[in-house]
Structure formats: C-alpha cells, structure tokens
C-alpha cells in the first residue's frame, strides 16, 4: 500500500503560536509592571532610608501595598535568584528614571549609600556606643580611643564621666564623619533634651540639679522597656528618695560590677559595696548608668502620683507595683510561680 501523506493541522500550530506569543506579551507586561517599572520619585531625586534589619520581603510588600509596583512575587523571585546579599541599612539616593530592579540591587551594597546610619540604642552604655563607632568603617576615629578625661576635654564636655551624656536615637552622618563630630552632636542633643525637660519639671522633686535627674532617667531606662511604666517606675524611686529608703535597683549593681558581671547577680553581689550598689548606698549613684531616652528623661521629671514604693516583674512582661511590703511579697511569690511554670 502506498504511503499516505499525513496532513498537518495548520490551525492547531497557529493556535499554539498565538498562545506562546500571548504568554511572551503577558510576561513582558508583568516584567514592565514589576522589575522594570520606574521607581516613583518626587522630583529629580529623593532619599531612600533603609533601617537596620529591613528585609527584601517587607520592602517589596510595602511597595505593593503603596501601589508602587504590581506582581510583588516577581520581585521576590528575582531577588532570590539574583541578589544573594541582604538589604544594607543606610540612606540611598534614588534618581528619576531608575527601575525597581536597579533600586533592589542598589540597597544590597552599603557602598551605594550616600550617608552612614548610626543606631544608638536607648539603655545601652557609652562604652558600647564608643565600641560601635570604632567598629564602623565609615566613621573616622579621632577621640574614641582616648582616656575618658581626654576624650571629654577634646569634646568640650564639662563633665568628669561620659555615661548618659549622649542621646540615643537613629542618626545619619556623612560617610567619613569623625567620631568627634558624631559624639558632639549626640551630646548637644542630649543636653537640649535635658534642659527642656528640666525647665518643665514637676515641683518638689528630690534632685539637687538636672544631672541628678539624668542619673534617675538612666535608672528608669534600665528598669523597664514598657513605655507605659516609665512614670510609675520614676514614682517608686522618687518616693524612695523622699522617704530615705535605698533604691535597691539591680541595674545599678550590674553597672558597678563592670566586666565582672557575667549575666547573673548573686546575693554576695548585692552585699558587695561599690559606688553604684544601691543596696549598700543611700540615694542616687554618682553618675548615670546608661544612655537614657527622651521618654525616660521626661519620666524622671514627671513621676506618677501613686503611693507605690515597690515593684517586681510579672514574668509575662511588665511589672506589678505595690504600696506596701505585704502586697509586694505576694507579687514576688506570683512572679516566682510564673517562672517555675515556665521551667
């Protein structure tokens, strides 16, 4: 039997071709609306601030939420395939005409940042701040390695001790800024905050001067991370000072222990005298024990009006405040029960 030629279904192949063309067009549209979409800029250029710990996932999701891009999944897939680095904190300059893809690539390299981001965390110490500055490749070291007295003299700071004098916050400085400029700016900001708060302080506070208020603010800062408790903690310590009671606050003990503190305080530590051990000394320690925030400084100037003179952690976040020893002892037992249950 002679071979019968197979007839080609031209309509089928034409259909396949149209589908492929459609997919290519759709893909081009998707890429145009995501990766190659022009990043929205107000004017010729604008600053883009990337905070420490920011992730591509959150950044892309926010772009989509703000209707700056479509198809965020495409951006995430691109990032996973082609950008191995994490986002780098800093201030970047986005110019008109840059694509979203170019922006994603730019923020993966800190060298592209126009300015250097410096995070000063509330409740940390001046020693930790100096260590951060010395480790920062974009900060020029001039004074951070000097003995404290020489450093303060170079900074024109009229104090004998550096603790507490620098305002915690997030800052942006030019790359190559000196530690002298940075510390001077932070000091001036802290003094401005302190002066303003001191002028508006409550009457009858047991502070001889605003430096003592700064010391109190540093203790408050270290005692609680719950903003709503700041004035309550302040109230407890202010009333204790007025009553002649010892402050008996662990953060001061820890500060006085210095490098000997290994993460736990023993009964012996509480009994060992240091200038900062408020279990053995009366009144305030001689200097601040940390870098207090504006909120803590305000709290030191405006303690609450309760009768509480005790507080203890709840074990679930926050503290339980009491006006008498019996209630305080009960709160202590409740805390211990919570901790036992967790273990």
Q: What digits encode the pLDDT tens for the residues 57-75?
A: 998 899 888 888 877 888 8
* b/e code 196-211 from CB counts within 10 Å (16+ = b): ebbeebeeebbbeebb
- What is the Cα–Cα distance from 315 to 266, expressed in whole angstroms? 19
Residues sharing a CB contact under 8 Å with residue 34, sequence separation 6 or more, in sequence order: 69, 70, 71, 72, 74, 75, 100
What pLDDT score was predicted for residue 43? 80
HSE on the CB side for 4, CA within 13 Å? Answer: 3
Full-model pTM: 0.78
What pLDDT score was predicted for residue 69? 82
Say whether 49 sits in a helix, a strand or coil.
strand
- What is the Cα–Cα distance from 25 to 79, expressed in whole angstroms? 22
What pLDDT score was predicted for residue 4? 53
What pLDDT score was predicted for residue 167? 97
Residue numbers of the chain with a pLDDT score lower than 50 = 1, 23, 26-27
What pLDDT score was predicted for residue 200? 96
CATH 3.30.160.60 residue window(s) in the chain: 307-343
CATH number 1.10.1060.10 is the correct assignment for the domain at 307-343: no
Position of tokens 């709160």?
Answer: 331
What pLDDT score was predicted for residue 7? 52
What pLDDT score was predicted for residue 303? 97
């Amino acid at each position: 039997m002679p071979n019968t030629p197979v007839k080609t279904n031209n309509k089928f192949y034409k259909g396949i071709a149209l589908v492929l063309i459609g997919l290519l067009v759709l893909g081009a549209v998707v890429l145009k609306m995501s990766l190659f979409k022009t990043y929205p800029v107000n004017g010729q250029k604008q600053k883009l601030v990337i905070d420490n710990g920011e992730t591509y996932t959150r950044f892309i999701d926010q772009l989509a939420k703000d209707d700056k891009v479509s198809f965020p999944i495409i951006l995430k897939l691109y990032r996973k395939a082609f950008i191995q680095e994490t986002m780098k904190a800093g201030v970047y300059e986005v110019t008109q005409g840059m694509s979203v893809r170019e922006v994603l690539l730019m923020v993966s390299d800190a060298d592209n940042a126009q300015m250097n981001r410096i995070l000063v965390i509330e409740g940390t110490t001046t020693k930790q701040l100096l260590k951060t500055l010395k480790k920062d490749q974009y900060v020029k070291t001039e004074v951070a390695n000097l003995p404290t007295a020489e450093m303060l003299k170079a900074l024109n700071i009229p104090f004998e001790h550096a603790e507490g004098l620098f305002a915690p916050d997030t800052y942006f400085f030019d790359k190559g800024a000196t530690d002298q400029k940075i510390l001077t700016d932070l000091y001036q900001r802290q003094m401005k905050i302190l002066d303003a708060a001191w002028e508006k302080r409550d009457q009858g506070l047991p502070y001889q001067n605003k430096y003592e208020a700064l010391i109190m603010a540093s203790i408050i800062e270290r005692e609680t991370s719950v903003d709503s408790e700041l004035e309550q903690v302040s109230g407890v310590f202010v009333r204790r000072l007025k009553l002649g009671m010892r402050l008996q606050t662990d953060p001061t003990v820890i500060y006085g222990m210095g490098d000997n503190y290994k993460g736990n305080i023993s009964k012996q530590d509480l009994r060992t005298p240091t200038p900062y051990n408020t279990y053995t000394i009366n009144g305030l320690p001689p200097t601040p024990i940390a870098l207090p925030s504006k909120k803590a400084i305000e709290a030191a100037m405006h303690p609450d009006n309760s009768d509480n003179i005790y507080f203890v952690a709840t074990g679930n976040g926050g503290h339980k405040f009491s006006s008498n020893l019996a209630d305080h002892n009960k709160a202590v037992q409740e805390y211990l029960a919570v901790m036992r249950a967790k273990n």
